Structure 1
Amino acid sequence: MSVGGDSGHAGSGVRWRDPKRYLWLYGLAMPLSPFLAYVLVQQFGLGVFWATGAIIIAVVCPLIDAVARLDTSNPPDEVMKPLENDRYYRYCTYLYLPLQYAGFVFGCWLWVSQPMGGAERFALAATLGIVGGVGINAAHELGHKRTSIERTLAKVALAQSFYGHFYVEHNHGHHIRVATPDDPATARFGEGYWRFLPRSVFGSLRSAVRYEKARLGRRGLSWWNVRHNNVLGAWLMSVALYAAVIALFGWSIAPWLVVQAGLAIMFLEGANYIEHYGLLRRNRPGGGYERVAPEHSWNSNHVCSNVFLYNLQRHSDHHANPLRRYQTLRSMPDAPQLPAGYAVLIILSLFPPLWRRVMDQRLLEHYGRDLSRINIHPPKRDLLLARFSD
């Protein structure tokens, strides 16, 4: 059975067409945004267009989400296996990487060849940062898979943002400890984004190093064994990449490489902040936490941002079934629902009072205002208990 145009399950009588099959190609507009930025600046002479990547993700995508219907459709169970095995979908993620690095190198050339002020250089860094941030998301999709080629490509995608340890921590740390106080990448009720950011960045780094040291130790290998060390090997990819572009374009681009990497990391951590805000897995009587369920991740069915992020916003199904490919991730109606797509909410998270106004009541309603079931930020515990206890 082919899952392409029309598809069905042999002998089942099911006929189904994937309505988003070709929409996934629109996600490639993001790695192409440095080229689009150049065209727009040349055409209109406005430096603001150097920020085209940021404009696409922060303006265009939310506008489409606002007018498009929520996508709550799921593929029938009968087509899940052939849909998973349809290689077209993985080629869509594979293609992101050569376009990502073509755009990255082109952006480095633009920094040294085009007349720009500091604000325009930052705008271009924002475009490259969004390309790298969505590249981390492509790495997230690839890094969960069992094939060696996809896991290698995940590390390659992370090199631009110098965040290669994410490959280790996300799979072996976050997915085990998600929605618990032990997870640095799970935001807590009452914890603002700017407090969460350093806790997640440095906590995830420590966790990745600790895990990789233990893994290598079990195999009788040294931490300095670069061939087998997934953290050091990923970092060396970034060193080699940065050294190559600095050799090509000069040291003047070095500060902007740091800026674009920082913005990519902020974009990723903004998504992390949203995905599990305040959610908590219960303790089991015999110790440990209950199994991860859809209720432990915020879900969003906004179609444009899901297309750009390879269904990352169907996060509830992702954590319940982490090996499932993006095209088969399901909408979970019983999961807590976000009021908008990630792009809007990441921007909102930068302003903690606005974030709290939009999200805190949703979190409380999800748990029936039972604060004992919420993952509360320890420094704010007494204040929040006094404010929201009935």
Structure 2
Amino acid sequence: MLNRSIKKIGFVSAFILPALLIFGYYAGGPLIWSIHVFVFLIIPLMDYLVKKDNENIAKEAVSQVAKERFYKWVTFGWVYIQFAVLFWGLFVVSTIALTTDEWIALVTGMALVTGGIGITVAHELGHKSDLLEQFYSKVLLMTVCYMHFFIEHNRGHHVRVATPEDPATSRFGESFYSFWFRSVKDGYLSAWDLENERLRKRKISPFSFSNQMIQFHLITLLFILLTFFVFSWIQSRWVWEVPVFFIAQSILAFSLLEAVNYLEHYGMERKKLPNGFYENVTPLHSWNASQRISNFFLFQLQRHSDHHWFASKRYQVLDHHEESPQLPAGYSAMILVAFVPPLWYYLMNPRLQKWKEIQAMESV
């Protein structure tokens, strides 16, 4: 019970990031980089010092914990906090003459909020059948110009993961930068194909407002235009800073998502069966990280194997699997490693090869 209570507190830790972003801006000087130092230095350090979390909730308690409203309220609360912080950022860039350093710090810091945590929450909510949770997921994705993720991730990635057909599965020997271009482009095109196919099965023209991809583009464009005109009206001038800031943080935010995608399935392959289909997804097809602190901030996204095994499972009851491949560090540290391909290959290729050899031996 004590461990569960501690975890409850831990899942609220994500709200530290927007607080650090705002604090850093008003504190000024080097402190404007507070959120960056926290994410890429303090969290990895805490991950290293704090014992890993390999414990799972007892089977008899899973149903009860999955239904506890606290965990849902945390994700719902994030939606409103993110919107408040985003509008604060738009207000700052449209009313204050920022230096280049301040611009860079605010744009990248905002991306850590909207991409590092926001898309993680959108991912969690987007897998649920509840219409309100799906709505909140789409709203969060709208704030990073990546609404098509709702279609491609749920109906594409989860079906094709760890196969050559999946844009979001990074290949062995593929750099993050090559992966980013392929995943962004092919994931977007796949979302169009999936939605067009859905409409054709219902005998509805893809060139209609029933097409969610058309809806998503219009909603995002309207949001950008609305914020632009509202802030322009407030300032009595055309505030070019608003769309520039919004689009810049969006690109960085979904790039963080793609960096996480790169980590999660690097080199993973499902066997193709004689009937032409691939073997079922198992806990063996995703990289995991058991670092306790980063799992708090990411709502246990690092227990990624269990998420792919049971996509609708709520974050608070995701399980650790001993047989799953393990990253050497949590996501915030491994993202930095992925940005340096030679270092990534040095750390990950031997681990991947060794893990595959172990799996081959165990399957004999």
Tell me if structure 2 keeps the 8 A contact 1:142–1:151.
yes
Matching residue's letter, 2:284: E
Structure 1, 61-70 or 275-284: larger mean CA deviation:
61-70
* Sequence identity percentage: 35
Match 2:24 to one of 7, 20, 37: 37
Secondary structure of the 1:295 match is: coil
Per-residue deviation, residues 193-226 of structure 1 (Å, max 9, x unmatched) = 0100010000100110000011112222232433
* 1:187 alignment partner in structure 2: 170
Structure 1, 106-115 or 50-59: larger mean CA deviation:
50-59
* 1:232 alignment partner in structure 2: 214
Tell me if structure 1 keeps the 8 A contact 2:145–2:247.
no
Residue 18 of structure 1 and its aligned partner are, at CA, apart by 4.5
Alignment of 1:129-168 (within 5 A): 129-133=111-115, 134-168=117-151
Per-residue deviation, residues 235-276 of structure 1 (Å, max 9, x unmatched) = 333222212222233122322222111110110000000000
Matching residue's letter, 2:21: P
Tell me if structure 2 keeps the 8 A contact 1:212–1:231.
yes
Structure 2 distance, partners of 1:309, 1:229, is 31
CA 1:53–1:209 in 2, change beyond 3 Å: closer, same or farther? Answer: farther
* 1:387 alignment partner in structure 2: none
* 2:60 alignment partner in structure 1: 78
Tell me if structure 2 keeps the 8 A contact 1:104–1:128.
yes
Per-residue deviation, residues 138-166 of structure 1 (Å, max 9, x unmatched) = 11000000111111111001011100000
Structure 2 distance, partners of 1:172, 1:368, is 31
Residue 49 of structure 1 and its aligned partner are, at CA, apart by 3.5
* 1:111 alignment partner in structure 2: 93
Tell me if structure 2 keeps the 8 A contact 1:348–1:355.
yes
- Residue 342, structure 1, aligned to residue 334, structure 2: no
State the TM-score, normalized to the length of structure 1: 0.86
- Residue 333, structure 1, aligned to residue 316, structure 2: no
Match 2:308 to one of 319, 324, 329: 319
Unmatched 5+ stretches in structure 1: 7-15, 372-390
Match 2:356 to one of 363, 367, 373: 367
Matching residue's letter, 2:277: G
Structure 2 distance, partners of 1:269, 1:292, is 21
Per-residue deviation, residues 359-382 of structure 1 (Å, max 9, x unmatched) = 1100000101899xxxxxxxxxxx
* 1:204 alignment partner in structure 2: 187
Match 2:275 to one of 265, 283, 286: 286
State the TM-score, normalized to the length of structure 2: 0.92
Structure 1, 25-34 or 335-344: larger mean CA deviation:
25-34
Matching residue's letter, 2:229: A
Structure 2 distance, partners of 1:213, 1:50, is 45
Structure 2 distance, partners of 1:144, 1:340, is 26
Tell me if structure 2 keeps the 8 A contact 1:18–1:75.
no
Deviating runs (4+, > 4 A) in structure 1? none
- Residue 353, structure 1, aligned to residue 342, structure 2: yes
Alignment of 1:159-178 (within 5 A): 159-178=142-161
- Residue 26, structure 1, aligned to residue 13, structure 2: yes
Structure 2 distance, partners of 1:181, 1:222, is 30
Matching residue's letter, 1:131: V
Matching residue's letter, 2:227: V
Matching residue's letter, 1:234: F
Matching residue's letter, 2:70: Y
Secondary structure of the 1:96 match is: helix
CA 1:223–1:52 in 2, change beyond 3 Å: closer, same or farther? Answer: farther
Tell me if structure 2 keeps the 8 A contact 1:30–1:131.
yes
Structure 1 distance, partners of 2:270, 2:156, is 15
Tell me if structure 2 keeps the 8 A contact 1:281–1:289.
yes
- Residue 49, structure 1, aligned to residue 36, structure 2: no
Matching residue's letter, 1:354: L
Tell me if structure 1 keeps the 8 A contact 2:10–2:297.
no
Structure 1, 273-282 or 256-265: larger mean CA deviation:
256-265
* 1:96 alignment partner in structure 2: 78
Structure 1, 328-337 or 50-59: larger mean CA deviation:
50-59
Structure 1 distance, partners of 2:212, 2:297, is 27
Residue 67 of structure 1 and its aligned partner are, at CA, apart by 1.1
Matching residue's letter, 2:291: H
Structure 1 distance, partners of 2:42, 2:98, is 24
CA 1:367–1:276 in 2, change beyond 3 Å: closer, same or farther? Answer: same
Matching residue's letter, 1:205: Y
* 1:301 alignment partner in structure 2: 290
Unmatched 5+ stretches in structure 2: 232-238
After superposition, the CA RMSD in angstroms is 1.7
CA 1:158–1:32 in 2, change beyond 3 Å: closer, same or farther? Answer: farther
Q: Of the two structures, which has the highest relative contact order with CA contacts closer than 8 Å and spacing of 6 or more?
A: 2
